[in-house]
Structure 1
Amino acid sequence: MGQGRVRLAVSLAEALGVLDGLEVVEPDPADDELVRLVHEDDYIEAVRRQEPDPRFGIGTSDNPVTPGMHEAAAQVCTATVQACRSVWSGESRVAANISGGLHHAMPALTSGFCVYNDVAVGIRWLREQGVRRIAYLDLDAHHGDGVQEIFYDDPGVLTISLHESPATLFPGTGWPTETGSIVAPGSAVNVALPAGTGDAGWRRAFEAVVPEVLRAYQPEILISQHGCDAHRTDPLTDLQLSVDGMAAAYARVRELAEETTDGRWVVVGGGGYSPLHGVARAWTHLLGVVAGRPVPASTPIPEDWREPYGDAAPATMGDGADGSFVPLADGVDPESAVDHAILATRRAVFPELGLDPEPY
């Protein structure tokens, strides 16, 4: 995925002083041995050749051949491993690589703008360091299919994904019944939300599933993917979140990391195709939460940052949404498609985790 989005978000974070609360570290040099933790040699060589190859999905409209594609994708993997190493070693409690989160790539297949799966590489590296229980939480509008597929047989990796229903959105996976293989039951949790879900429904679903699952699993480290394509202005998806609701979700993820992993939290980016209203603001909010200095939604965006974009640029860091929601425990609405999605997830996977699927 284009790194111009990352530069845009970083420039806004700088303009608002968010990066003043963070240590910004240069990434280590790209390391092919790290890429090989997940990806097959033949595939890596095909990416290096920079030629269309349908065997590996290279050269499609979603995954075009671009100069330096191997080096760029390998660098993202190295940066995510660097973040994992920093947190697991105790050097940092929280580390972020917002250029990462390329969750669709498979061991021998490019997919959904993703060449190498940096998240899977980071998780595999942690497993090789002896980490026994890793939780991966994916908040992208698209299902985190690559990460789920790679660790579907590994009970030491829990994947949780909240996404638009595969009935209406790529990649067509992430049904509630996908709960892990026979050797890793309950290791995959999928909440497939109906198109049109907004803040209230999304947060209701999050709270009805994620906290209980994380508490039951007791991870040693949490890795969260923060694709921001669930924003209401994103052209590729049909969810309707506000940037206010997304910022509230980021803060909640940090709270859960503090509660369940003693604060060991690795943050990556992901999708997002509304650069000004979605990506720049969402990831600036995310970096503010990482820094422990959340950005109020009412914060004006500096004029010198907005000037190049004219009227297309948002004026503040919020959409004017209040972010409120009603917990599922207050009662199930039998007419609500969101509640049907929540119950489908709970009933499919909660028993495998030793949890009561009924929210009463």
Structure 2
Amino acid sequence: MSDRVGLVRCPDARIYDHGPGHPLRPDRVLLTWDLVHAYGLDEQANVATLDCAPADDPTLELIHTPAFIDATRRAGHGEQGDWARFGYGPGDNPIFDRMHEAGALVAGASVAAARAVWTKGSDHAFNAAGGLHHAMPDRASGFCVYNDPAIAIAWLLANGCERIAYVDVDVHHGDGVQFAFWNEARVLTISLHQFGSWFFPGTGSAGERGGPDAPGSAINVPLPAFTSDEAWLEAFRAVVPPAVTAFAPDVLVTQLGCDTHHSDPLAQLLLTTAAYRATAAELHRLAHAAAGGHWVATGGGGYQWARVVPRAWTLYFAEMCDADLPDELPEPWIEEAERRLRAEVPATLSEPALGPGEGDGAARAVVRSLEEVLAS
């Protein structure tokens, strides 16, 4: 096992909590860490647990405005104000206690992963609590307070990294990261996502290709609802490896949202854990082939918080560690997950194949069109 792998475990990760009934549950991260531990991955000789601290204001200001940071801090401490103009209020981003501290902790964890990889303490590093890719410089969005992937990328640029490729496989377009680096030729952003005028965030068309100083620096693969494993993986393989290889980044940064799963309550793609296993292997190969092995990974979306998210992210982390896992989940972990969920969870990492999806034909047409654009 030649790859040195860092696992970031945030203290107080539970404080990133939008409250009862909100779909983004902190238990999904805690159960992921528990499953990683139950399989013994964090005790492998090539794995180190990475310490992290909350990002300070200058680090947050690599992406976010001082006014937004101040508003987030004050709102989370119970002060009254016009917080709606900063994206806070009923719905996706309710105000919650200590939300500045919670968001800064997640951002600090992703910076810790980036620092470990960039300073050669680790070849790969994973922050399961991260991947909050919707936050904009001056407002919260889509359950995201601070945009930790963008902050980690900006930190890398500020510390001498010259080229970074960002690959986002969340079901929702990585709009906040794309916006942050729209006009930055040193950063390539690639997002594969469900797309439609009614589907959040409503951006990510194939025509979004980067700003005037960075044409071609954004690549979007907009996929229709009901795209299955096979068509999704065809799209990934057609676009991501050639684009990242041609860009030749110093570091590969990935957002590993698993709300693409067929059972996710907030989306309509039809992926299974087989797709996550295959994607993990593709990204691992790509990190070594195109980025010198330098791979910073974050979590992301995923709202089947007990049944899917821990299994998906453990599959990704096992790939980073070069570990082969038994398909059967450890029984003590199953018992704890079912206690929290108050319902049954799957007993294995693998799942039955679903077969073709209604959106597969349209997905392949999107990819053919996109291949023509990228080749021109």
Whether TM-score is above 0.5 comes out as: yes
**Which consecutive residues of structure 2, in runs of 5 or more, have no partner in the other structure?**
1-23
Query: Superposed, which structure 2 residues align to 1:187-226 within 5 Å?
Result: 187-226=217-256
Match of residue 286, structure 1, among 316, 322, 326: 316
Match of residue 34, structure 2, among 11, 14, 31: 11
The separation in 2 between residues aligned to 1:294 and 1:37, in whole angstroms, is 38
Map Cα deviations across residues 121-148 of structure 1 (whole Å, 9 max, x no partner). Answer: 1111111122221000000000000000
Counterpart code for 1:181: G
Query: Superposed, which structure 2 residues align to 1:1-360 within 5 Å?
Result: 1-21=24-44, 22-50=47-75, 51=80, 53-295=83-325, 299-308=327-336, 309=338, 312-321=344-353, 336-351=361-376
Q: CA deviation at 1:311?
A: 5.2
Counterpart code for 1:38: I
SS in structure 2 at match of 1:212: helix
**Which consecutive residues of structure 1, in runs of 5 or more, have no partner in the other structure?**
325-334, 352-360
More deviation in 67-76 or 2-11? 2-11
SS in structure 2 at match of 1:336: helix
Counterpart code for 1:126: L
SS in structure 2 at match of 1:267: strand
What's the % identity of the aligned pairs?
Answer: 43
More deviation in 80-89 or 342-351? 342-351
Output the TM-score relative to the length of structure 2. 0.86
SS in structure 1 at match of 2:122: coil
Q: How many correspondences in the alignment?
A: 339
SS in structure 2 at match of 1:73: helix
Q: CA deviation at 1:13?
A: 1.5
Map Cα deviations across residues 100-124 of structure 1 (whole Å, 9 max, x no partner). Answer: 1100000001000001001111111
Counterpart code for 1:320: P
Map Cα deviations across residues 317-350 of structure 1 (whole Å, 9 max, x no partner). Answer: 11033999xxxxxxxxxx9201111123223344
| Aligned CA-pair RMSD | 1.8
Counterpart code for 1:235: P
- Check whether the contact 1:87–1:95 (CA below 8 A) recurs between aligned residues: yes
Counterpart code for 1:280: P
The separation in 2 between residues aligned to 1:252 and 1:159, in whole angstroms, is 17
Map Cα deviations across residues 14-64 of structure 1 (whole Å, 9 max, x no partner). Answer: 112222222112212442221111100111111011256111111231001
The separation in 2 between residues aligned to 1:167 and 1:190, in whole angstroms, is 15
The separation in 2 between residues aligned to 1:121 and 1:304, in whole angstroms, is 36
- Shift >4 Å, 4+ stretches: none
- Check whether the contact 2:25–2:305 (CA below 8 A) recurs between aligned residues: no
SS in structure 1 at match of 2:306: helix
